[in-house]
Structure 1
Amino acid sequence: MTKRMLIMLGTVGLFFGGILVYQLVLKPVMMRKFIPVGVIPPQTVSTTKAEFSEWRGEFQAVGTLRAVRGADIAPEVPGVITAIEFQSGQEVEAGAPLVRLNAESDLARLQSLAAAAELAEVNYQRDQKQLEILAVSRAVVDADAANLKSAKAQLAEQQALVNKKFVRAPFAGRVGIRAVDIGQYVTAGTKLVTLQALDPVYVDFYAPQKSLGKIVPKQKVTLSTDAFAGEQFIGEISSIDPKVDPATRNVQVRATVRNSKRSLLPGMFATVSIATGGPQRFITLPQTSVSYNPYGDTVFVVEKQKGQDGKASLLAQQKFVTTGSTRGDQVAILSGIKEGDTVVTAGQIKLRPGVPVIVNNSIQPANDPAPRPKDQ
């Protein structure tokens, strides 16, 4: 019985001893043999060559178009519309009649006051002649003169009221769609139609305060809008607001743009481009190449290095860069890398300094200086 127990204990001891020897001795040896310690698998990335390209100093902003002269035409007095003298969308001259209001009673009163003014004139002339022969006193003539002035003033006042019954275009331009009909009663201030002078037009936009030194009156601007793709409109800066908005640190700028075809309409938005300097050369990369961090902007550069076995391999090295302006998908690099460096454009999120890489440029990120939206 004791002998069997010893044999069983010995067998169990050998079994667990073998497991312990395997775990502590054989397994590490096998792992070192088949899995090299400290070897980092290479990461697949796409790259591009750092090259110089020409940049034009340019400032762009989104602006809003407004007419040099524009107004919603409304009557100064109430009344019933008796005639509409224009067609919607018509070009009209300054002073052209637009709407007539009922003025019969006002015209009748005008004739009455005109007759009273004529009578006051006759009385004044008669009494002046009588004063020469001392038939009347100076006081009578003075009273006649005062009555004449009062009558003429009342006549002028009534004439002004009658004139207000005839609504005229205050300036030349294009009328919009009429908002009233014949026979409609309108009060003072009721919109009748909009009138807009379309050539030239203003474009108002905002510029950051750092751009103020590059923007001056009479400077040329180029305007484009998605309503007329591929067409550019030329103008110049006409005024700069003398105050910077303390909330946004932006200043309002106004440019005047020729609009001979009357194609630009008030209220449209447009892109304003201003050339702010001569052409410059900068190393240019896709914006996806740069990792923007609070501690500094970085890129990964691929370098060829030889290992201990003498074989060359591609390793990623991180470098700090100073970025400049952007245009479309591109960014200008002011310092940190040199022309000809191989820069990672995609896949850098998997990298850290010294990591081996495999370059696969079958798919490249967008690198267009002036991208346009595409209809899918």
Structure 2
Amino acid sequence: MPGRRMITMLSIVLLVVLMLASYKAFWIYQQLQLLHAPKPPVSVAVANAVEKPWQRQLPAAGTLKALQGINLSIEVPGVVTQLHFDSGQAVKAGQTLLQLEHQAEQAELDVALADRSLALQNFQRGHQLVGINAISQGEFDRLSAELNRNKALVAQRRWALAKKQIVAPFDGTIGIRQVNIGDYLQSSTVIASLQDTRSLYVDFHVPEQAVQLIKIGQPVQVEVSARPGLFSRASISAIDPIVDDNTRNVLVRATLATPDKYLLPGMFAHLQVLLDTPSSHVVIQESAIAYSPYGQYVYVVKPHTGNEGPGGLIAEQRLVETGERRDGDIVIAKGLAKGEQVVTAGQIKLQNGTPVHISIDRTQPDEPPLAPPPEHAE
């Protein structure tokens, strides 16, 4: 009896071990099946490589300045007696803008004019007398010097009187008036600004390595922060012949011959110097570029010769050489052909040969369908 009980127990234990071993073997079989099963396709967004005209540009920044612009100020102190302009008024060159109290200077000029008239009469009389030897040559020379001294004194008094008023040195638009009639002004007090905005210019700096790309007359696109997206056309008018020792940059001036009314002196400007004539280049979205220690690469969606994955598409990793970037696009100099589809989202899940499924990228504009991408020619 004990022997039969022992055999029964051993049979039960053996049956349990066999069941556990069978379950473990089935689990291992399932894992091997999953390991060798084809990977599901990765959902990615794609965009087409297009060929379009592309013009190289050199970015820069500067500040708009008027063709002529000054702050009007007086050189001598005095009380304002007359104002001949309003804020924002257009004025002409030579127009009187402000008059200070000048009665004392006018009286001094009148005295100088009287003295000059007397000296002139004495000189003319002496010229006649010296001709008949009625006076000496020395006396005539004294009369001549006296006339010259009085002429100089008249010029001095006129200059002092002219300092008592401000006239417009050039045509332009005057700014907001800073003084009123009756104000006592110290010397160098600013009255208002005067700006000639018939033409504007902007000074900017370029690296010394880029000077060879700049030439007189080259077109420049100007965009101000106050009006983003609106561009004005300027042209290079001057290039400084020296490189700054501290920044290693060169100062360049671009002139806007006929500026728009919304452009004002002092505005910050974004510039794009157009370096050459447009030429056709293969362009893709900048988001398609990925980086590795070996360089930049993209994933190109290609049809697979086998039947892996729905649709039979795989991602092919391809090294590319890139050029200039602008407005979310980038030029491909080598490694990609026109019409090929590149992955713009989902690259982080991809490897070379990964099956992919194309999904719609709602953040990108709709593109017309293309024919099957051509084989890439090295």
Same fold (TM over 0.5): yes
CA contact (8 A) 1:233 1:258 kept: no
Q: After superposing the two structures, state which structure 1 stretch, 125-134 or 317-326, moved more.
A: 125-134
Which amino acid in structure 2 is aligned with residue 32 of structure 1? L
Question: For residues 59-100 of structure 1, what are the alpha-carbon distances to aligned partners after superposition, in whole Å with 9 as ceiling and x for unaligned?
Answer: 454442211111111112111111111111111111100110
Which amino acid in structure 1 is aligned with residue 105 of structure 2? D
- What secondary structure, in the 3-state scheme, does the structure 1 residue paired with 2:280 have? strand
> Residues of 2 paired with 1:367 and 1:140: CA distance?
102
Q: After superposing the two structures, state which structure 1 stretch, 181-190 or 53-62, moved more.
A: 53-62
CA contact (8 A) 1:204 1:252 kept: yes
> Residues of 2 paired with 1:350 and 1:140: CA distance?
110
Q: After superposing the two structures, state which structure 1 stretch, 176-185 or 222-231, moved more.
A: 222-231
Q: 1:267 to 1:312 in 2, by over 3 A?
A: closer
Residue 175 of structure 1 corresponds to 174
- What secondary structure, in the 3-state scheme, does the structure 2 residue paired with 1:243 have? strand
Residue 48 of structure 2 corresponds to 49
Question: For residues 170-214 of structure 1, what are the alpha-carbon distances to aligned partners after superposition, in whole Å with 9 as ceiling and x for unaligned?
Answer: 111111111111111112211111111111221333344454344
Residue 268 of structure 1 corresponds to 267
- What secondary structure, in the 3-state scheme, does the structure 1 residue paired with 2:139 have? helix
CA contact (8 A) 1:83 1:99 kept: yes
> Residues of 1 paired with 2:126 and 2:15: CA distance?
150
CA contact (8 A) 1:199 1:262 kept: no
Question: For residues 306-364 of structure 1, what are the alpha-carbon distances to aligned partners after superposition, in whole Å with 9 as ceiling and x for unaligned?
Answer: 45989973222211101112231211111112233221011112222232222112435
1:125-136 superposed matches below 5 A: 125-136=124-135
Which amino acid in structure 2 is aligned with residue 80 of structure 1? V
Cα drift, residue 366 of structure 1: 6.5
Residue 142 of structure 2 corresponds to 143
Question: For residues 89-136 of structure 1, what are the alpha-carbon distances to aligned partners after superposition, in whole Å with 9 as ceiling and x for unaligned?
Answer: 111111100110111111111122222223333333444444444444
CA contact (8 A) 2:41 2:310 kept: no
Q: 1:191 to 1:310 in 2, by over 3 A?
A: closer
Q: After superposing the two structures, state which structure 1 stretch, 286-295 or 219-228, moved more.
A: 219-228
> Residues of 1 paired with 2:154 and 2:13: CA distance?
133
Residue 331 of structure 1 corresponds to 330
CA contact (8 A) 1:46 1:363 kept: no
Which amino acid in structure 2 is aligned with residue 357 of structure 1? V
Residue 276 of structure 2 corresponds to 277
CA contact (8 A) 2:308 2:355 kept: no
Q: After superposing the two structures, state which structure 1 stretch, 122-131 or 276-285, moved more.
A: 122-131
- What secondary structure, in the 3-state scheme, does the structure 1 residue paired with 2:173 have? strand
TM-score, reference length from structure 2: 0.82
Unaligned runs of at least 5 residues, structure 2: 368-378
> Residues of 1 paired with 2:259 and 2:346: CA distance?
51
Residue 32 of structure 2 corresponds to 32
Cα drift, residue 10 of structure 1: 6.8
> Residues of 1 paired with 2:160 and 2:58: CA distance?
52
Q: 1:43 to 1:106 in 2, by over 3 A?
A: same
Residue 290 of structure 1 corresponds to 289
Which amino acid in structure 1 is aligned with residue 152 of structure 2? A
Q: After superposing the two structures, state which structure 1 stretch, 201-210 or 189-198, moved more.
A: 201-210
Which amino acid in structure 2 is aligned with residue 27 of structure 1? W
Residue 97 of structure 1 corresponds to 96
> Residues of 2 paired with 1:367 and 1:274: CA distance?
31
- What secondary structure, in the 3-state scheme, does the structure 1 residue paired with 2:324 have? strand
CA contact (8 A) 2:309 2:356 kept: no
Residue 372 of structure 2 corresponds to none
Residue 201 of structure 1 corresponds to 200
> Residues of 2 paired with 1:153 and 1:11: CA distance?
141
Q: After superposing the two structures, state which structure 1 stretch, 119-128 or 314-323, moved more.
A: 119-128
- What secondary structure, in the 3-state scheme, does the structure 2 residue paired with 1:182 have? coil
Which amino acid in structure 1 is aligned with residue 158 of structure 2? Q
> Residues of 2 paired with 1:353 and 1:247: CA distance?
48
Paired-residue identity, %: 35
Question: For residues 207-241 of structure 1, what are the alpha-carbon distances to aligned partners after superposition, in whole Å with 9 as ceiling and x for unaligned?
Answer: 44454344321234454546567865444321112
Residue 320 of structure 1 corresponds to 319
Unaligned runs of at least 5 residues, structure 1: 369-376
Q: After superposing the two structures, state which structure 1 stretch, 9-18 or 288-297, moved more.
A: 9-18
> Residues of 1 paired with 2:238 and 2:88: CA distance?
30
Q: After superposing the two structures, state which structure 1 stretch, 326-335 or 123-132, moved more.
A: 123-132
> Residues of 1 paired with 2:117 and 2:23: CA distance?
131
1:116-131 superposed matches below 5 A: 116-131=115-130
Q: 1:149 to 1:299 in 2, by over 3 A?
A: same
Q: Count the aligned residue pairs.
A: 365
Q: 1:189 to 1:250 in 2, by over 3 A?
A: same
> Residues of 2 paired with 1:301 and 1:261: CA distance?
46
Question: For residues 138-189 of structure 1, what are the alpha-carbon distances to aligned partners after superposition, in whole Å with 9 as ceiling and x for unaligned?
Answer: 3333333323322222221111010111110011111111111111111221
Residue 108 of structure 2 corresponds to 109
Q: 1:235 to 1:30 in 2, by over 3 A?
A: closer
- What secondary structure, in the 3-state scheme, does the structure 1 residue paired with 2:241 have? coil
> Residues of 2 paired with 1:327 and 1:278: CA distance?
16
